[in-house]
Amino acid sequence: MGSARDEALAYVRRVAAAYDPHLRLAETETVNKPAAAVGGVLVCAPHPDDESLCGALPLRLAREDGCPVTALAVTLGSDAARKEARLREFADACGVLGWGWQLARQPLAMDGISPAQRDRDPAAWEGKVAAVVAILAALRPALVLLPHLDDAHPTHVGTHQLCMEALVRHATDCGGEILIAETEFWRPLGDANLLVGVGEEDVARLVLAVSRHRGEIVRHPYHAQLPFRMVETVRRGAEMLAGFGGGVPPFRFGELYRLARLMNGRLLPATRGVILDPAERLSLAALRSAC
């Protein structure tokens, strides 16, 4: 019988073997996008791949509540030579997820989405806000996902600023209310209030979708890392939302969000932490009730 050290070493080796940074999944042809649907979920992606990396909530809503989902590519990255390829990859990923998609601006989305650019050229920024307002007016989403304000990457922070300005203006114009789910990737949410458990089949679909961003996973294997990140998210999220030292959820994979309701230009966050098991039906009505 091996020593405790041998058992620990064997476990670490199994984890290392499970993580395959060279994971390559089957190629697919670009799938024609479904028509953008009114009243569903809008996922504001700072870059192509963010829609998939943080897409657990809309994926479950589409499957369990029949919500149509549209992914909005705010930018196609900063490398001009890669923009057309990244657009094809974005379309591929959305095809895997079964979502519609569109660009924040034709033909190759937007550039200069950062706090520095917002301050440097207010007139150009205003034009970008107006473009997003027009998209919101056309789609009238019930739920919008966007990065949180402290998500570290300048384009993620800029996307938060851009989309929040547009959302406040849209909500003021239409006189309604919208659910907002802020996402995390580069820096964790300090005040997350929603932990969405994710079943293995949904995790696999997200891994497959991220793998469609072929130019990005060659640079960095985000798809191979995704399940590991989602395991760590459950550890962190369960302690944050249920109380430190509390029970452990029965599921392994999850994604954290900050859920709020936008009313009268103000974000009203959910009043309590919510942990949703993968076996528990997820719906827009359930999310509204949490706010």
Please tell me the predicted confidence (pLDDT) of residue 86: 96
Residue 247: pLDDT band (50, 70, 90) is confident
Q: Average pLDDT over the chain, rounded to whole?
A: 92
Give the model's pLDDT for residue 243: 85
Taking CA atoms, 47 is separated from 74, 108, 140, in Å, by 7, 12, 22
Does the global pTM surpass 0.85?
A: yes
Model pLDDT, residue 1: 55
Q: How many residues make up the chain in this entry?
A: 291
pLDDT attached to residue 268: 87
Of 200, 183, 196, 153, the residue nearest 71 (C-alpha): 183
List of domains in the chain: 36-290 (3.40.50.10320)
Residues 40-66 have a mean pLDDT of: 97
Who has greater pLDDT, 264 or 63? 63
User: Mean pLDDT across the stretch 96-118?
Assistant: 96
pLDDT, position 32: 57
pLDDT in tens, 12-47: 999 888 888 888 886 665 555 555 667 799 999 999
Mean pLDDT lowest for which of 31-45, 82-96, 171-185?
31-45
Q: Note the pLDDT tens digit of each residue in 197-206.
A: 999 999 999 9
Judge whether 256 and 278 are in contact, CB under 8 Å: no
pLDDT, tens digit (0-9, with 9 covering 90-100), for 260-289: 999 887 888 888 899 999 999 999 999 998
pLDDT attached to residue 72: 97
Q: How high is the pLDDT of residue 25?
A: 83
Residue pLDDT, tens place only, 216-232: 999 999 999 999 999 99
- Angstrom distance (rounded) from CA 108 to CA 49: 16
Confidence (pLDDT) at 276: 95
pLDDT of the residue at 225 = 95
